[in-house]
């Protein structure tokens, strides 16, 4: 008697590097021609209708006619909406699944963004501190009277502006403020 061997199958799933979708757009068949012919026949009875709305009986009849036509329209619209709802079920399920997968990527991306934002805030705080220290050294006696915060320009913290250029702009602004301050002191 041969010895029985038990083999276990390993399930291997390929990783997907992109979204591969197979679908065939479902078709919707309807009796449009027959329905249109029926609607045209009914509406033809009201085509060019004139109502003497001063007569209460005729006014009530006009309202009934309009209500009847609107009910026909609503029946067709209700059926259209029901078909649309059923037609959209697989699309909604597809979109929900795609969004659940892309949210995994978004979470990782948001984590990186938070770190980048934090690093940017730290870079700006460092430059701000450097500019403030430079101002207090450069402005000497003016600094207690006109604090750095009054002269600071947010664009100085932009990467494209650069710290050297920001210090030069600060120096120029400080000179102008100092000159104006001296002029004010002289007028007192």
Q: What is the pLDDT of residues 56-68, one digit of tens each?
A: 999 999 999 999 9
Least confident piece of the model among 11-15, 45-49, 104-108, 153-157: 11-15
Which pLDDT score, from 0 to 100, does residue 17 have?
Answer: 82
Which pLDDT score, from 0 to 100, does residue 21 have?
Answer: 85
| Surface-to-core class of residue 156, CB atoms within 10 Å of its CB (0-12 exposed, 13-18 middle, 19+ buried) | buried
pLDDT at 105 over 90: yes
pLDDT range class, residue 3, cuts 50, 70, 90 = low
Which pLDDT score, from 0 to 100, does residue 24 have?
Answer: 83
| Surface-to-core class of residue 39, CB atoms within 10 Å of its CB (0-12 exposed, 13-18 middle, 19+ buried) | middle
Which pLDDT score, from 0 to 100, does residue 4 have?
Answer: 59
Tell which residue, 130, 124, 125, 134, has the closest CA to residue 171: 134
Range 111-135 average pLDDT: 97
pLDDT at 132 over 90: yes
CA distance 114 to 124: 15
pLDDT at 2 over 60: no
Q: What is the pLDDT of residues 170-186, one digit of tens each?
A: 999 999 998 887 787 77
């Amino acid at each position: 008697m041969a010895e029985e061997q038990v083999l276990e199958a390993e399930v291997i799933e390929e990783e997907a590097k992109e979204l591969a979708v197979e679908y065939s757009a479902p078709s919707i068949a309807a009796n449009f021609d027959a329905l249109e012919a029926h609607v045209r026949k009914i509406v033809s009875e009201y085509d060019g209708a004139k109502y003497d709305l001063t007569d209460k009986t005729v006014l009530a009849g006009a309202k009934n006619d309009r209500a009847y036509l609107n009910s026909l329209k609503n029946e067709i619209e209700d059926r259209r909406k029901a078909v649309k709802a059923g037609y959209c079920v697989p699309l909604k399920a597809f979109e929900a699944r795609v969004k659940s997968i892309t949210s995994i990527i978004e979470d990782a991306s948001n984590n990186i963004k938070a770190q980048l934002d934090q690093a940017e805030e730290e870079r700006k705080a460092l430059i701000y501190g450097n500019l403030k220290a430079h101002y207090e050294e450069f402005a000497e006696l003016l600094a207690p009277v006109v604090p750095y915060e009054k002269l600071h320009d947010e664009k100085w913290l932009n990467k494209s502006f650069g710290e050297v250029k920001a210090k030069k702009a600060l120096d120029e602004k400080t000179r102008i403020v100092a000159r104006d301050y001296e002029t004010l002191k002289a007028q007192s």
